[in-house]
Amino acid sequence: MSDRAGSSEDLVAALFCSKAEWHRTQARTPIKEKVRILLELQRQDHPLLKRHRRLEWWERPWEIEP
Amino acid sequence: MKADGIIEDYAIGGAMAVLFYAEPTRTYDLDVFVLLPESGQEIVVLTPIYDWLQRRGFAPKAEHIMIHGVPVQLIPAYNDLVKEAITEARQHDYDGVSVQVTPPEHLIAIAFQTGGRKRRERAFQLLETTDIDRGKLDELLSRHSIRSPGSDHE
């Protein structure tokens, strides 16, 4: 039982570790690529945000190239 | 704007500044902290900035100015911490253009000082994924009397 609990804890620790590493890798992405991701996030989130509240005039995806 | 003496200096702040150090998070505007020349007046006057921008075809609308498709909010340095963020801004390169960006330690301190869930989340994101000078951050928090969230439990 304790062995199983131990391996489960190890698994969770490993998952958190790989997640943290993924975030660090994302942080090291070149700035131009980050802006491209940001533009994509804006496009994805906009319809969802619009459904939940009235948006300000400036809260819309930027029509720019990164 | 700086060359024309309209502003003394500037630094990109907010989520766009975080983008230079951490992973992308969604934002729809660009915050720019500006240090204005001494006017001798108690009230902050942004008219010279708006006039300068309007002469170049950028019209303000409420608190934002649309500049080449990006809504920009110009925020006059409202306290010593923000002034320091501007004077200690880091130079970054964006596609061959040099831009001044608020240092990550100042971004965290400003987020803790201002409060708000989204700002705190971004601050913790910086703490977890960026090389933060912890000594400098502690010194900033202490000098500006800022309590970090969770310090009550320490």
Query: Structural domains in chain B?
Result: 9-153 (3.30.460)
The amino acid occupying position B111 is A
Measured CA to CA in angstroms, residue B60 lies from A54, B14, B36, B46, B52 at distances of: 21, 20, 18, 11, 11
Burial of A24-56, coded b for 16+ CB within 10 Å and e otherwise, reads eeebeeebeebbebbbeebeeebeeeeeeeeee
How close A7 comes to chain B (CA, Å)?
26
Nearest to B128 among A20, A29, A60 (CB): A20
Please give the model's pTM, rounded to 2 decimal places: 0.88
Chain B: give the shortest CA distance to residue A3, in Å.
Answer: 31
Interface of A with B (CB under 8 A): 20, 23-24, 26-27, 29, 31-32, 34-35, 37-38, 41-42, 45, 57-64
* Residues of chain B neighbouring A23 (CB-CB closer than 8 A): 23, 125, 128-129
State how far the Cα of B67 lies from the Cα of B131, in Å rounded to an integer: 32
Query: Is B96 an interface residue toward A (CB < 8 Å)?
Result: no
What is the value of ipTM here, to two decimals? Answer: 0.87
Q: What pLDDT score was predicted for residue A54?
A: 95
CA dihedral for B126, B133, A27, B107, sign (positive or negative): positive
- Give the model confidence (pLDDT) of B57-82 as tens digits: 998 888 899 999 999 999 999 999 99
Does A31 sit within 8 Å of B26, measured CB to CB? no
Give Rg (Cα) of chain A: 19
Cβ of residue B131 closer than 8 Å to a chain A Cβ: no
Residues B72 and B56: their CA atoms lie apart, in Å, by 15
**Interface probe, candidates A16, A23, A34, chain B, greatest B C-beta count within 10 A:** A34
**Tens-level pLDDT at each residue, chain A (66 residues):** 556 667 888 888 888 888 888 888 889 999 999 999 999 999 999 999 999 999 999 999 999 988
pLDDT of residue A8: 85
| Distances, alpha carbon A50 to alpha carbons A64, B16, B55, in Å | 21, 22, 34
CA nearest to A37 within chain B? B24
A23–B23 C-beta distance less than 8 A: yes
CA distances from A2 to A8, A9, A11, A13, B39 (A): 10, 10, 14, 16, 71
* SS3 state of residue B129: helix
